[in-house]
Amino acid sequence: MTVEVTGAAAVGERASDPDLLYSEAEEDLRAAVRSLLAARAEPAAILGRIETGDPYDPALWRALATDMGTAGLLVPEKLGGQGASAREAAVVLEELGRAAVPAPYLTSAVLVVETLLGCEPEASEEPEAPEVARLLASFASGRTVGALALPLPTGPGSALACEVRVAADGTLEGGARRVADAAGAHTLLIPARGPEGVELYAVDTSAAGVTVSPLVSLDLTRPLADVAFAGVRGRRLAGPGVAEAAVRRALLAGAGLLASEQLGVAEWCLSETVRHMGERKQFNRPVGSFQALKHRLARLWLDIVSARATARYAADALASGSADAPVAVAVAQSACSKAAVRAAEECVQLHGGIGMTWEHPAHLYLKRAKADEIALGTPSHHREILAELVNLPSPTAG
């Protein structure tokens, strides 16, 4: 069936074979996370928390992030982490997506940690290195929760919308809108415009001059907040050049790993819908026996098969530091955003009236899927990036 065209040049593909499967250790990690979430994050509990303004269950976070060590998966052992990789973090995110759990994993254990890893924590000649390493260790332990003060949406390849300034006296002025998980964070990483370019600062949310204003978010399981800084004294983590590269690295990893969360969302929606359609009877037969519906679910499964391969490839490319990671991430975002949104939409429709109720968890997945589709770059944003990466220029590009 595959049509092989001989002589077609491989476009930017890496030479070594990526590993697209799950290792035994990864499956063990999945099983552990899944059983924790099954016991402590059932849909009723999540629904009970999401309107309290504080959707996170601190005991669950401690068990997941600290006791199981998942907050430090991306951090090398000598810096206080687990020394694992994006492949393992991806598995955790799949499970968090599958359970639509409110937990600041993507924001703290991926975006914040990756930003710090990009700040040369081991460059002993840099004056900032000890503070970067100290913060990294505290985030890796899960005891401190952080958020990156960038306005959403921001995707890899976007211009950084940085509205915080470093004033002449070295304090921070300005703010960032729509920051994910800011309300629950202890510490913010703040890209701020200094005289020579973007620098990076750390500020505790309890510090004088910091205001965090929660917003009414589409996705209640990952709430947004506006943050504002007035004469705030921050701890400098990186200067121009390094800071911006660190943020870009984090956005690439974040978008690549978000794909695994989206995959988990899609998988739950499909399996829950299949289960329901096998049980629900109308016209004296299970509704799942109607061909129109079977074909819709089979197509959804096809999308998920492809999405899973792209999410695994993105995680593997990030883990190995492959030069193809930007392509892998853009392809994964394009495939997984679509799979998650479609799966959640089908889940609502094929549940009928019950799918429209607040009580049924389908809406948690729909809102998560729709917000995920935008947060770190929309599918069309990622395809525009792809156009440059694989040399398929737009009509106006010269």
> What is the spatial distance between Cα 22 and Cα 74, in angstroms, rounded to a whole number?
17
Tell me the C-alpha distance between 202 and 238, whole Å.
Answer: 10
Q: Which two tokens stand for residue 109?
A: 């254990």
Toward another protein, which CB reaches closer, 11 or 161? 11
By CB under 8 A, residue 86 contacts another protein: no
Here's the x/- map for another protein, 156-195, by CB under 8 A: it reads as ----------------------------------------
Tell me which residue has tokens 């506006």.
226
- Which position has the token pair 């996705």? 219
Q: Which residues inside 361-380 make contact with another protein, applying CB under 8 A?
A: 380
Nearer to another protein, 62 or 299 (CB): 299
Nearer to another protein, 127 or 285 (CB): 285
Binding of another protein by 310 (CB under 8 A): yes
25 binds another protein (CB under 8 A): no
| Cβ at position 11, least distance to another protein in Å | 5
Structure tokens at 138: 């505290």
Find the shortest distance in angstroms from Cβ 273 to another protein. 10
ω into residue 153 within 30 of 0, thus cis?
yes
| Residue 323 binding another protein, by CB under 8 A | no
Torsion angle in degrees (nearest 10) through CA of 356, 360, 364, 366 = -40
Question: Is position 3 an interface residue for another protein (rule: CB under 8 A)?
Answer: yes
Does the footprint of another protein cover residue 313 (CB under 8 A)?
yes
The count of residues interacting with another protein (CB under 8 A) is 59
- Tell me how far, at minimum, the Cβ of 353 lies from another protein, in Å: 21
Site for another protein in 273-302 (CB under 8 A): 274, 277-278, 285-286, 288-291, 294-295, 297-299, 301-302
Q: Does 342 bind another protein (CB under 8 A)?
A: no
Q: Report, in Å, the least distance between residue 299 CB and another protein.
A: 7
260 binds another protein per the rule CB under 8 A: no
CB of 210 to another protein, least distance (A): 40
Nearer to another protein, 235 or 296 (CB): 296
Whichever of 4 and 169 has its CB closer to another protein, that residue is: 4
Rounded CA-CA distance 79/93 in Å is 22
Q: Is 352 in the site for another protein (CB under 8 A)?
A: no
Applying CB under 8 A, which of residues 32, 218, 309, 374 lies at the interface with another protein? 309
Residue closer to another protein (CB basis): 152 or 330: 330
Note the residues at the interface with another protein (CB under 8 A).
1-6, 8-13, 17-21, 270, 274, 277-278, 285-286, 288-291, 294-295, 297-299, 301-302, 305-310, 312-313, 327, 330-331, 334-335, 380, 383-384, 386-387, 390-396
